């Protein structure tokens, strides 16, 4: 079994009479990306506060690199955190921001310059290094914000909605960076409201609803468990209409249709996706209620 | 320490990059000191010794003597009656008064064969021994000039004979400590207070912005310890206030001939004020609310502090009820300590109370700020 970079064991947290999290358990291993999904108020923020040590749990155990909060300075240097809001100095240039945060990470001299050069290349910021942040576009700002997090040689990267409000190009380079970090064996926690984005980058998913874990596990397992049936779409050769069909086994369903003499034009097989997982879980919850 | 220095450098750079900040912290206070100093005080005699003269002899000789004194470039003479001269010296409007007693003319006419030596009294604040000594010399010199004029330019030779034409008696008068000697002695500390209050408003809003953008949180979660964040913020605020107040006092000294009685006490005043208001920045900048809301609230509080503390009406001109209410403003203690070093002639014992109050307020502010920052969560 691989060493967990961070883990929650039956963690509960309440604020006054409000239960923010109830018995949450999960772990993130090196080289894996965990997507935390949930509506506003589901408990994502409390969970992040607990991971980074800003809050302590009422019950259960939170561990980061084998340590429990409050974390010492060395442990904290091994977390890279990009909050949802742009934590940058808007009257400093891109370079000045990177230099400042790098020096606060303890980097100096040649190493500092080298690190800035690497992250600015990764996030395509070389051309705008002298721009003040206030003069940058939203996408650029978001990339600089992420670049600051990448300055640290961390074990755990925590990205809270890193692509919120950015253009396609910036989103692409941010997702590339996440993929690169994953390749390097870093553990990543990623929150987003874009389901297709989570699907693209994550290995594991944790779905929160009102402070409780609705579902968690590896993405393929969740899809298998909660994704429901695959869908086939084809153009009916007789009337030219697009037909949709839900089925467990697309291959056998297609052969059955062909045996019946249907000409399947523009045939597409749509396997269940994370989006289906979420909608099925929500439906299930509504029915249960 | 390297990280703390980096954070301080960043704060100062951000401040420098916003021209409006410099206008509020330096330019407006400078204008205030200049304009109000110009309105309240006549600065044409600022480099002269202001002397009230009481001519009890009322003779042609005494009038000629006063004319000779008035012709000197280093003196500004006002002829008053004894009561008015005493009062104006007590209130600091004149640095001394000179009383020419009856018999002056006779003494001058009979010199060097007279039986009685005429008396001139020089009455000044006992703390102004240098002025008394200087004026004694000036008086003797002018009397000798008067005698020479009477004798048609011939030297009396009296100095060789060691004869004294007049007897100059130095006396002390209790000077009211509640009155400044120069309008700028009041308006410069007032301007400094405004500059400090502007720094507080600007830096509190800056701190609130950093919090709302979760920069503080980013630092706190990752590489920088809470102690470093707090220390750097306090030192940034103090550095800003120290720099602006030092510049304003330098300007006051060079431009307005601000006569600082105790430089060491003024340094104490600046340091204590800087610490006190850095604490206030920490407390106000870490309150909940948006940067805009905090900025508005801080300006309101600062204007009240200024009104109560003597930033608008000088403390010595306040009615009693306002003087009592002013105890609530840290600005009052800051101005009092600065004025103590400039013209109130405070002893170190006098300076202790305002200094202590400023340090206590600063400590309380820092403690509140640290508590607020500690409780900060990611939202």
User: How confident is residue B45, by pLDDT bands cut at 50, 70 and 90?
Assistant: very low
> If you count them, how many residues does chain B have?
379
CB A76 to CB B221 under 8 A? Answer: yes
CA angle B119, B124, B125 (to 5 degrees): 150
Task: Write out the E strands in chain B.
Answer: 49-55, 75-79, 96-100, 119-124, 167-172
Q: Does A52 touch chain B (CB under 8 A)?
A: yes
User: How confident is residue B185, by pLDDT bands cut at 50, 70 and 90?
Assistant: confident
In Å, what is the CA distance from A186 to each residue of A33, A76, A161, A189? 8, 15, 18, 10
**Mean pLDDT, to the nearest integer, of A151-157?**
88
Q: Which residue of A has its CA nearest to B377?
A: A54
pLDDT score of A96: 93
Q: Does A53 touch chain B (CB under 8 A)?
A: yes
Reported pTM: 0.71
Record the tokens describing residue A166, joined without a space. Answer: 């950015």
Enumerate residues 6+ apart whose C-beta is below 8 A from B155.
Answer: B148
Contacts of B203 in chain A (CB under 8 A): none
Mean pLDDT of chain A: 86
Q: Mind listing the pLDDT tens digit for each residue in B134-173?
A: 888 899 889 888 888 887 765 555 444 446 788 889 888 8
CA angle B220, A184, A146 (to 5 degrees): 40
**Mean pLDDT, to the nearest integer, of A158-186?**
87
Superfamily of domain B49-172 in the CATH hierarchy = abc type-2 transporter like domain (3.40.1710.10)
pLDDT score of A34: 93
Q: Mind listing the pLDDT tens digit for each residue in A93-120?
A: 999 999 999 988 888 888 899 999 999 9
Residue intervals of chain B classified under CATH 3.40.1710.10 are 49-172
Q: Which residue of B has its CA nearest to A146?
A: B218
CB B218 to CB A83 under 8 A? Answer: yes
pLDDT score of A93: 93
More confident residue, A205 or A228: A205
CB B218 to CB A55 under 8 A? Answer: no
Q: Which residue of A has its CA nearest to B222?
A: A76
pLDDT score of B210: 84
Q: Mind listing the pLDDT tens digit for each residue in B66-103?
A: 999 999 988 889 999 998 888 888 777 788 899 999 98
CB B13 to CB A92 under 8 A? Answer: yes
Q: Mind listing the pLDDT tens digit for each residue in B321-362?
A: 888 888 999 999 999 899 888 887 788 988 999 999 999 999
Q: Is the pLDDT confidence value at A256 over 70?
A: yes
User: How confident is residue A284, by pLDDT bands cut at 50, 70 and 90?
Assistant: confident
Nearest to A54 among B213, B215, B377 (CB): B377
Whether ipTM tops 0.85, in short, is no
Give just the sign of the alpha carbon dihedral B204, B210, B212, B216: negative
Percent of chain A with pLDDT over 70: 99
Mean pLDDT of chain B: 84
pLDDT score of B153: 60
Q: Closest Cα partner for A49 from A65, A62, A40?
A: A62
Q: Mind listing the pLDDT tens digit for each residue in A198-207?
A: 888 899 999 8
């Amino acid at each position: 079994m691989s060493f967990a970079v961070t883990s929650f064991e039956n963690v509960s947290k309440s604020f006054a009479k409000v239960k923010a999290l109830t018995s949450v358990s999960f772990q993130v291993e090196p080289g894996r990306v965990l997507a935390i999904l949930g509506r506003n108020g589901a408990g994502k923020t409390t969970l992040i506060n607990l991971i980074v040590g800003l809050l302590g749990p009422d019950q259960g155990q939170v561990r980061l690199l084998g340590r429990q909060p409050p974390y010492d300075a060395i442990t904290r240097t091994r977390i890279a955190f990009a909050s949802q809001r742009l934590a940058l100095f808007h009257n400093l240039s891109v370079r000045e921001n990177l230099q400042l945060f790098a020096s606060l990470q303890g980097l100096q001299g040649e190493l500092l310059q080298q690190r800035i050069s690497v992250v600015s290349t990764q996030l395509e910021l070389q051309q705008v290094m002298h721009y003040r942040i206030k003069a940058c576009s939203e996408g650029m700002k978001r990339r600089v914000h992420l670049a600051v997090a990448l300055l640290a040689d961390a074990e755990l990267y925590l990205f809270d909605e890193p692509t919120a409000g950015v253009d396609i190009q910036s989103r692409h380079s941010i997702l590339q960076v996440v993929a690169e970090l994953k390749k390097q064996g870093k553990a990543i926690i990623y929150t987003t409201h874009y389901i297709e984005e989570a699907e693209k980058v994550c290995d594991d998913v944790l779905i929160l609803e009102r402070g409780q874990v609705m579902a968690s596990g590896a993405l393929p397992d969740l899809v298998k468990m909660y994704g429901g049936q695959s869908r086939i779409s084809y153009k009916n050769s007789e009337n030219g209409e697009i037909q949709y069909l839900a089925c467990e086994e697309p291959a056998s369903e297609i052969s059955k249709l062909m045996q019946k003499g249907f000409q399947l034009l523009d045939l597409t097989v749509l396997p269940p996706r994370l989006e289906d997982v979420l909608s099925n879980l929500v439906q299930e919850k509504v029915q249960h209620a | 320490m390297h990280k703390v220095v980096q954070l301080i450098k960043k704060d100062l750079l951000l401040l420098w990059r916003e021209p409006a900040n410099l206008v509020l912290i330096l330019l407006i206070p400078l204008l205030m000191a200049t304009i109000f100093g110009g309105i309240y005080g006549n600065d044409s005699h600022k480099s002269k010794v202001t002397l009230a003269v009481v001519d009890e002899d009322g003779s042609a000789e005494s009038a000629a003597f006063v004319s000779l004194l008035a012709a000197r470039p280093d003196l500004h003479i006002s002829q008053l009656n004894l009561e008015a001269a005493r009062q104006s010296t007590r209130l600091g409007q004149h640095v001394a008064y000179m009383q020419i007693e009856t018999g002056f003319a006779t003494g001058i006419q009979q010199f060097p064969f007279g039986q009685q030596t005429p008396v001139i009294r020089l009455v000044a604040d006992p703390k102004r021994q240098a002025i008394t000594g200087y004026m004694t010399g000036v008086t003797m010199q002018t009397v000798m000039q008067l005698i020479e004029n009477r004798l048609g330019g011939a030297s009396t030779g009296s100095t060789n004979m060691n004869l004294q034409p007049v007897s100059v008696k130095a006396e002390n008068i209790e000077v009211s400590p509640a009155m400044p000697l120069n309008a700028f002695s009041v308006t410069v500390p007032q301007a400094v207070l405004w500059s400090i209050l502007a720094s507080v408003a600007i830096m509190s809003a800056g701190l609130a912005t950093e919090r709302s953008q979760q920069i503080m949180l980013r630092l706190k979660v990752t590489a920088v310890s809470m102690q470093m964040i707090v220390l750097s913020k306090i030192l940034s605020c103090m550095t800003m206030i120290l720099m602006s107040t030092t510049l304003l006092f330098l300007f006051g000294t060079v431009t307005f001939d601000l006569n600082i009685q105790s430089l060491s006490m003024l340094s104490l005043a600046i340091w204590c004020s800087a610490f006190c208001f850095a604490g206030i920045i920490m407390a106000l900048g870490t309150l909940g609310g948006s940067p805009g809301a905090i900025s508005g609230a801080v300006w309101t509080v600062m204007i009240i502090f200024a009104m109560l503390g003597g930033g608008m009406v000088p403390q010595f001109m306040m009615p009693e009820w306002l003087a009592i209410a002013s105890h609530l403003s840290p600005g009052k203690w800051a101005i009092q300590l600065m004025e103590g070093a400039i013209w109130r002639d405070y002893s170190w014992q006098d300076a202790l109370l305002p200094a202590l109050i400023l340090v206590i307020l600063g400590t309380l502010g820092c403690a509140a700020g640290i508590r607020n920052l500690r409780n900060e969560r990611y939202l």
